[in-house]
Amino acid sequence: MIMRKLFLLCIVLAAMISCSTSAEASQPVVKTGVEVLRDRGFEGLKGKRVGLVTNPSGVDRFLNSTVDILFNAPDVNLVALYGPEHGVRGDVYAGGHVTDTKDEATGLPVYSIYGATRKPTPEMLEGIDVMVYDIQDVGVRSYTFISTLGLVMEACGEKGIEVMVLDRPNPLGGNKIEGCYVEPGFFSFVSQYEIPYVYGLTVGELAVMINSEGMNRGQKGNQAPAHCDLTVIPMEGWTRDMLYEDTGLPWVLPSPNIPFKETPMYYAASGVCGELYGFMNIGVGYTLPFQVFGATWLDPEKLKARLESYSLPGVSFRTIYFKPFSGSQKGELVKGVQFFFTDYENARITETQFHVMQAVAELYPDKKAFEVISGYGLFDKVCGTDYVRTEFQKRYQFTDIKDYWRKDEEAFRALSQRYLIY
């Protein structure tokens, strides 16, 4: 009897191992650009003096830093690092100036490109033959790393330095496109290119587009188009219908308030509203950055009911109560809604925040977004226009801006087809 039980146990264990192995084998595994570069024997870098723009998100699937990979690669002479917002090692909080320093692990000089200057100076680029860029993007125009990329491309083009982009997945997938183009007068570090707010390209695809289409026109978009000698090292195994969870890759936060692989989609859904300081708490300073809309004075049940009455496709709401750990409302009881994308493909993610602003105006006429804040400059910059604000402010109805917010999407989708790598 004992032997029979042992035999049955072995069969069960073997079946479990087999299922586990099959599950692992079926799990899509994407190779990022840095891994493909390594597989190719660091082709394009051997015998050259290399600079690297990166941050903690620049890792391979085993969490080895791109800094260390290139520093230890045979015949690759990594000579300098360049720190964007938050720094090479991620030790600078949002908005804080990055300073020139020395990397403790490698001893390499680290030049700040988010401090006194956001564009590498000629002195910073002395002795560089090729500049490598490896940062995880989030697929949203206002996220500053793609602006840093453009300024790096501009500076390197002026010096005749090659630029190599190591491609990574777009965590929003490769099909989601939402929002209007940036208008003249509203180009900035948070809206540096004439592209939609959500652009549906990998950072490599975007780099090729802005280089080829002459979109790289400086931080304020008022310079002659800048071009550079650009190479993109593509991924292997990534497809446009993949969200980050489908890639089999670990998520390393590219900035302090993007802690989870799902956070980028919520950043796209609330980040514009988050620029209206003094209006709503969007979870920054709590455990759910960008995934809530709340205030101390709200009735969460009323807000939830009003939002549900709009029948927004693919988004659901629940009431939430929380006390932020940091920020202007630290320790105060904030009440509101947490939102979830239940049908991401059909959801209009960026429009969630405008419906929240509408709901608040309907429920609390004395709390209308643009009437309780101290300024709206950043809101206009991330929108890429003041039209969204001025038209919405008249009645606080999303229908008044819907057509404008969506007007450039199909044109951009057609344009981007020329630059798809995957």
Tell me the per-residue pLDDT of 134-146, one tens digit each, with 9 for 90 and over: 999 999 999 999 9
Specify the DSSP element, H or E, that contains 153. helix 145-159
Q: Give percent of the chain with pLDDT exceeding 70.
A: 91
- Tell me the C-alpha distance between 200 and 196, whole Å: 9
**Cα distances (Å, whole numbers) of residue 305 to 189, 193, 196, 227, 299:** 37, 38, 31, 51, 10
Lowest mean pLDDT among 16-25, 96-105, 109-118: 16-25
Q: What is the rounded average pLDDT of the residues 104-119?
A: 92
CATH number of 33-255+415-419: 3.40.50.12170
Q: What is the rounded average pLDDT of the residues 43-72?
A: 97
- One-letter amino acid at 416 equals S
pLDDT at 104: 86
The residue ranges of DSSP E strands in 170-242, in sequence order, are: 230-233
Beta strand 162-166 pairing with 109-112: unpaired
pLDDT at 387: 98
Task: Decide: helix, strand or coil at residue 13.
Answer: helix
Closest CA to 78 of 117, 31, 37: 37
Around Cβ 277, how many Cβ atoms within 10 Å? 13
Q: What is the rounded average pLDDT of the residues 58-73?
A: 97
**Cα distances (Å, whole numbers) of residue 115 to 84, 85, 96, 148, 196:** 9, 8, 8, 12, 27
Q: CATH 3.40.50.12170 residue ranges in the chain?
A: 33-255+415-419
Q: CATH 3.90.1150.140 residue ranges in the chain?
A: 263-385
Tell me the pTM: 0.91
- Tell me the C-alpha distance between 168 and 406, whole Å: 27
Confidence of residue 97 (pLDDT cuts 50, 70, 90): low
Q: Tell me, which fold does domain 263-385 have in CATH?
A: Aspartate Aminotransferase, domain 1 (3.90.1150)
pLDDT at 87: 81
Conformation bin of residue 11: beta by default, left when phi > 0, alpha when psi is -120 to 50: alpha
Q: In this predicted model, what pLDDT tens digit does every residue of 149-194 receive, in sequence order?
A: 999 999 999 999 999 999 999 999 999 999 999 999 999 999 999 9
